[in-house]
Amino acid sequence: MAALRFEGFRRPQRGLRRWTGWLRARIRSSELWLVFIAAAVGALAGGLAMFQGALAHGLQVLLFGIEPEVRLSAAPPIAPVRLLALPAGGVVMGVLAWAWTRRRRSPPVDPVEANALRGGRMSLQDSAFVCLQTLISNGFGASVGLEAAYTQAGAAVASRLGVWLNLRRADLRVMVGAGAGAAIAAAFGAPLTGAFYAFEVVIGTYTVSSVAPVAAAALAAALVARASGETIYGMAPEAVGGTLTAAAYGLYAGLGLVCAVFGIGVMRLVAVMEGLVGRSPIPRWARPAVGGVVLIAFAAASPQTLSSGHGALRYDLEVDLGLKLVLVLLALKAAASIVSLGFGFRGGLFFASLFLGSLVGRVYAAGLAATHWPSAMLDPTVASLVGMSALAVAVIGGPLTMAFLALETTGDFGITAAALTASLFASVVARETFGYSFSTWRLHLRGETIRSAHDVGWLRNLTAGGMMRKASETISAAASVAEARRRFPLGSAKQVVVMDETGAYAGLVPVAALYVEPSDPARSVGALAQQADVALTPEMTIKEIMEAFDRTETDALAVVDPDGAPLGLVSEAYATRRYADELEKARRDLIGEN
């Protein structure tokens, strides 16, 4: 009976494995199946985004006493006692971060880092913690956006499903991009925006083979969002761009330059604030709470500094604000975002940059109007929308992403053309003078060198430890040439690893050098050793290995452990061949060949 029960328990598992194997085979043999899976991922990512948005807004309604249909940043002045939610949220954040870092030392991986360095692999546990932190930060009113939670959840689910289905590296990266892009598509109800967010920000490139799955995921997410009744950050301002003159294009290009400078300044100030807070005597767990106290002053001045700012963005587009008020709001919102991130709240700058960009655009239009030049007059609402796109490009990248956001939220091709002009200029200036988006800038501060989501992880996976041939041909430095000749006849090996009396690496000796006449048979092998002061470590990447070969002009290099003991050999010919093979594989992935 026990055996029968055991077999009955195992039968469903075997059935699940067979079904999973069948599905994996279908996905690997047909792109259509990958599209179906991506659409399912998109629907799930859209649902998760809507759920998280509802949770954060529900928390804001509870803590700040606002009406359910009112966004926090567009709320009337909030009672001072309710603003104590800001430091209270900081306490929760600090305690959670302290408890988490005691359990896991490595920082969570976001979709950009996962696709650039890890072939699309993400941790569900780490991603759930990022979502929780972001929900608490935004729900308690900190001036951060929820995009970190949306994209993290969508990308992590996609990554987990892709690993379970044993997807190829290139397909897994596309799936992660599709999940993140779907979350953005759901947030704005804008499938084109979500799709190009995936291409430009998360995948890092556009290929024919990735179009269908990414588009299917974005469309499915947008449909899920619209089926719920409204999108999280839907905008429909009544603005008409009209036909742009050549002068207008030039003016909007100037707005792109202004937004690039402003965006770079905000990103650098976030890093400065983090550095100052990190060097302060404030305990790590208490830093978000102290930041919450500082945020009370901003929130008391204007509720528009709270949360991501989309409610305020929609409100400000519909009213005529004076220049002084716009300048004050711009300074307060920028400072609130810098303080929130610098003191340890979790979130992103994408959604906040849209609000900041709209304010920059309005200031730009007002400044041009003050010149009283007829050809320098810009519509303030259009300038706000264009500034929104340009500043977001400076912060997150993706000029086409933001151009499509302008198109899908306004339906006006004149505004879209102006937004694309400003976005391209902002992108070029930010890339040339700064070189990072906000996500890659924070990775840079951690010591990483990536500047985009382009897949460079395979370069790091190609290490000396993985390519070396075990060092089986070894000899003591004190051994004689005669002994070496006896042990290693001509043709038996190319290189012999020489070790000193402690077993540490002492150089390489070509076997042919042992037989060069006139060599004294009594001479020690150590006297013939070469490259004694040059060796590789197992974690060195292919780039570092090839640089070492160029520098030493040798055919082989030894790999040693931290104690100096020889582990193996890497030949230049083999390293070059592996590098060429991986480059060809990356090229095939780029153009969509399997």
3-state secondary structure 275-320: HHHHHCCCCHHHHHHHHHHHHHHHHHHCHHHCCCCHHHHHHHHCCC
Query: What pLDDT is stored for residue 3 in this prediction?
Result: 47
Query: What pLDDT is stored for residue 64 in this prediction?
Result: 95
Q: Flag whether pLDDT at 502 surpasses 80.
A: yes
Q: Residues 55, 118: one domain?
A: yes
Q: How confident is the model over 416-435, as pLDDT tens digits?
A: 999 999 999 999 999 889 98
Query: What pLDDT is stored for residue 215 in this prediction?
Result: 96
The SS3 assignment for 280 reads coil
pTM for the model: 0.82
- Give the lowest-confidence range in 18-27, 203-212, 248-257, 359-368: 18-27
Q: Flag whether pLDDT at 521 surpasses 80.
A: no
Beta bridge partner(s), residue 476: 499
Query: What pLDDT is stored for residue 261 in this prediction?
Result: 96
248 closest CA partner among 427, 70, 379: 379
Boundary residue ending a domain (173, 193, 227): 227
Boundary residue ending a domain (400, 430, 454): 454
Q: Residues 214, 272: one domain?
A: no
Which has more pLDDT, 150 or 4? 150
Q: Residues 178, 50: one domain?
A: yes
Q: Residues 204, 258: one domain?
A: no
User: Looking at the domain assignment, is residue 590 inside a domain?
Assistant: no
Beta bridge partner(s), residue 568: 470, 559
Which has more pLDDT, 263 or 449? 263
Q: Residues 475, 449: one domain?
A: no
Q: Flag whether pLDDT at 6 surpasses 50.
A: no
Burial class of residue 68 (count of CB atoms within 10 Å of its CB; 0-12, 13-18, 19+): exposed
**Mean pLDDT, residues 87-107:** 89
The string of DSSP codes covering 385-448 is HHHHHHHHHHHH--HHHHHHHHHHHH--HHHHHHHHHHHHHHHHHHHHHT---HHHHHHHHTT-
Q: Residues 273, 207: one domain?
A: no
Q: Residues 172, 26: one domain?
A: yes
- Give the lowest-confidence range in 240-244, 399-403, 441-445: 240-244
The span from the CA of 376 to the CA of 370, in Å, is: 9
User: Looking at the domain assignment, is residue 594 inside a domain?
Assistant: no
Q: Residues 545, 400: one domain?
A: no
Which has more pLDDT, 562 or 583? 562
Q: Residues 313, 447: one domain?
A: yes
Query: What pLDDT is stored for residue 423 in this prediction?
Result: 95
Q: Flag whether pLDDT at 187 surpasses 70.
A: yes
**Mean pLDDT, residues 362-378:** 85
Query: What pLDDT is stored for residue 107 in this prediction?
Result: 84
Mean of all residue pLDDT scores within the chain: 87
Q: Residues 416, 467: one domain?
A: no
**Mean pLDDT, residues 541-568:** 88
User: Looking at the domain assignment, is residue 483 inside a domain?
Assistant: yes
Query: What pLDDT is stored for residue 4 in this prediction?
Result: 46
User: Looking at the domain assignment, is residue 6 inside a domain?
Assistant: no
Query: What pLDDT is stored for residue 75 in this prediction?
Result: 92
User: Looking at the domain assignment, is residue 4 inside a domain?
Assistant: no
- Give the lowest-confidence range in 74-88, 232-246, 377-391, 546-560: 232-246
Question: What is the share, in percent, of the chain residues with pLDDT greater than 90?
Answer: 51
The SS3 assignment for 558 reads strand
User: Looking at the domain assignment, is residue 182 inside a domain?
Assistant: yes
Query: What pLDDT is stored for residue 481 in this prediction?
Result: 87
User: Looking at the domain assignment, is residue 390 inside a domain?
Assistant: yes
Q: How confident is the model over 312-346, as pLDDT tens digits?
A: 998 888 888 889 999 999 999 999 999 999 999 99
Q: Flag whether pLDDT at 8 surpasses 60.
A: no
Q: Residues 203, 250: one domain?
A: no
**Mean pLDDT, residues 388-400:** 93
The span from the CA of 11 to the CA of 523, in Å, is: 70
Query: What pLDDT is stored for residue 457 in this prediction?
Result: 66
By the 8 A CB rule, do 351 and 184 touch? no
Query: What pLDDT is stored for residue 503 in this prediction?
Result: 86
Q: Provide the token pair at 490.
A: 């001509």
**Mean pLDDT, residues 42-67:** 95
Structural domains in the chain (count) = 3
Question: What is the share, in percent, of the chain residues with pLDDT greater than 70?
Answer: 90
Cis peptide before 566 (omega within 30 of 0): no
What dihedral do alpha carbons 147, 149, 150, 156 form, nearest 10°? 130
CATH code of the domain in which 197 resides:
1.10.3080.10
Q: Flag whether pLDDT at 242 surpasses 80.
A: no
Q: Confidence band (pLDDT; 50, 70, 90) for 15?
A: low
Which H helix or E strand runs over 498? strand 495-499
Boundary residue ending a domain (397, 419, 454): 454
The span from the CA of 159 to the CA of 92, in Å, is: 29
Q: Flag whether pLDDT at 527 surpasses 70.
A: yes
Query: What pLDDT is stored for residue 232 in this prediction?
Result: 60
What is the domain extent for residue 203? 17-227
User: Looking at the domain assignment, is residue 7 inside a domain?
Assistant: no
The residue assigned the tokens 């690893």 is: 497
Q: Residues 347, 473: one domain?
A: no
Beta bridge partner(s), residue 559: 536, 568
